[in-house]
Structure 1
Amino acid sequence: MKKFFLEDLQNIINGNILNWNTNRPVELFVEQPDKPLLNCLYYLFDGCDDEDKLLKKLVECGATGVIIKAPHRLNIYKWKKFKIGVIEVEHLTESYLELAKVFRSQFNIPIIQVIGSSGKTTTKDMIGAVLNAGIPTLVGYNNYNAPSGVAYNLFSIRKYHRAAVLEVGMKGRGIMSLSSEMVKPNIGVLTSIQRAHLVSLGSIENIIEAKAEIFDYLDEAGLLIINGEDENCINFPIGRYKGKVLKYGFSDKFDLWASNIKYKNFKSYFRANGPGIEIDCILNTVGKYNIANALAAILVGLQLGLRKEDIKRGLSNFEPSSGRLKIYDGIKGTVLINDNFNANPDSTRQLLQEIPYFTDDKPLMLVLGDMERPDEEVRQYAKEVHFSIGEQLAQIKFDSLIAIGKWAKEYVRGAMSKGVPQSKMVYFETVEKAEKYFKSSIIPGSVIVFKASVYVPIRHLIRSLGVEY
Structure 2
Amino acid sequence: MEIAELYKCFMECGKVTTDSRNCPEGSMFIALKGETFNGNAFAAQALKQGCRYAVIDESEYAGEGTILVDNCLQALQQLANYHRRQLKTPVIGITGTNGKTTTKELISTVLSRKFNTLYTEGNFNNHIGVPLTLLRLTKEHEMAVVEMGANHPGEIKTLVHIAEPDYGIITNVGKAHLQGFGSFEGVIRTKGELYDFLRAKGGATIFIQNENPYLNGIAEGLTCVRYGQTAGLYVSGELISCSPFLSFRWTAEGVSHEVNTHLIGSYNLDNMLAAAAIGRYFGVSDDDISSALASYLPHNNRSQLKETADNKLIVDAYNANPTSMMAALKNFRQVEAPHKMVILGDMKELGEASREEHQKVVDYLKECGFDRVVLVGPEFAAATHSYQTFQHVDEVLADIWMHKPQGYYILIKGSNSMKLSQLPECL
What is the TM-score normalised by the length of structure 2? 0.90
State whether structure 2 residue 51 is matched by structure 1 residue 69. Answer: no
Identify which of 230, 236, 241 aligns with 1:262. 241
Structure-1 residue corresponding to 2:47: 55
Deviation at 1:446, TM superposition (A): 1.2
Identify which of 97, 102, 127 aligns with 1:122. 102
Structure-1 residue corresponding to 2:318: 341
CA distance in 2 between counterparts of 1:30 and 1:427 reads 43
**Equivalent residue of 1:296, what SS?**
helix
Structure-1 residue corresponding to 2:343: 367
Structure-2 residue corresponding to 1:433: 395
CA distance in 1 between counterparts of 2:183 and 2:48 reads 52
State whether structure 2 residue 401 is matched by structure 1 residue 409. Answer: no
Identify which of 123, 127, 133 aligns with 2:113. 133
CA distance in 1 between counterparts of 2:22 and 2:138 reads 16
CA distance in 2 between counterparts of 1:38 and 1:259 reads 50
Amino acid at match of 2:415: S
Structure 1 residues 382-425: Cα deviation after superposition (integer angstroms, max 9, x where no partner)? 11111111111123231100111011125535xxxxxxxx4xx3
| Aligned positions of 1:273-288 closer than 5 A | 273-288=251-266
Structure 1 residues 155-205: Cα deviation after superposition (integer angstroms, max 9, x where no partner)? 111222111111101222221111001111122111110110323222222
CA distance in 2 between counterparts of 1:102 and 1:36 reads 23
Deviation at 1:438, TM superposition (A): 2.7
Deviation at 1:461, TM superposition (A): 2.3
Deviation at 1:313, TM superposition (A): 1.5
Distance change in 2, residues 1:280/1:33 (3 Å): farther
CA distance in 1 between counterparts of 2:238 and 2:75 reads 48
| Aligned positions of 1:7-86 closer than 5 A | 9-10=4-5, 25-33=12-20, 35-37=22-24, 40-45=27-32, 47=39, 54-58=46-50, 63-74=51-62, 76=63, 79=64, 85-86=65-66
**Equivalent residue of 1:443, what SS?**
coil
For the aligned residues, what is the CA RMSD? 2.6
Amino acid at match of 1:400: R
| Aligned positions of 1:300-315 closer than 5 A | 300-315=278-293
Tell me if the contact between 2:3 and 2:75 (Cα under 8 Å) persists in the aligned partners. Answer: no
CA distance in 2 between counterparts of 1:299 and 1:139 reads 18
State whether structure 2 residue 202 is matched by structure 1 residue 220. Answer: yes
Deviation at 1:346, TM superposition (A): 1.0
Deviation at 1:40, TM superposition (A): 3.8
Structure 1 residues 46-72: Cα deviation after superposition (integer angstroms, max 9, x where no partner)? 5366777533432xxxx5422013143
Higher alpha-carbon deviation: 99-108 or 200-209: 200-209
Tell me if the contact between 2:377 and 2:390 (Cα under 8 Å) persists in the aligned partners. Answer: yes
Structure-1 residue corresponding to 2:331: 354
Tell me if the contact between 1:391 and 1:411 (Cα under 8 Å) persists in the aligned partners. Answer: no
Tell me if the contact between 1:340 and 1:450 (Cα under 8 Å) persists in the aligned partners. Answer: yes
- Compare CA radii of gyration and give the structure with the larger one: 1
Distance change in 2, residues 1:293/1:171 (3 Å): same
CA distance in 2 between counterparts of 1:8 and 1:398 reads 59
Higher alpha-carbon deviation: 222-231 or 443-452: 222-231
- Please, which runs of 5 or more residues in structure 1 have no aligned partner? 1-5, 13-19, 80-84, 414-421
Distance change in 2, residues 1:222/1:314 (3 Å): farther
Tell me if the contact between 1:36 and 1:42 (Cα under 8 Å) persists in the aligned partners. Answer: yes
Distance change in 2, residues 1:217/1:270 (3 Å): same
Amino acid at match of 1:250: Q
Tell me if the contact between 1:248 and 1:296 (Cα under 8 Å) persists in the aligned partners. Answer: yes
CA distance in 2 between counterparts of 1:69 and 1:343 reads 37
Amino acid at match of 1:365: M
Structure-2 residue corresponding to 1:249: 228
Structure-1 residue corresponding to 2:219: 238
- Please, which runs of 5 or more residues in structure 2 have no aligned partner? 33-37
Percent identity between matched residues is 24
State whether structure 2 residue 392 is matched by structure 1 residue 392. Answer: no
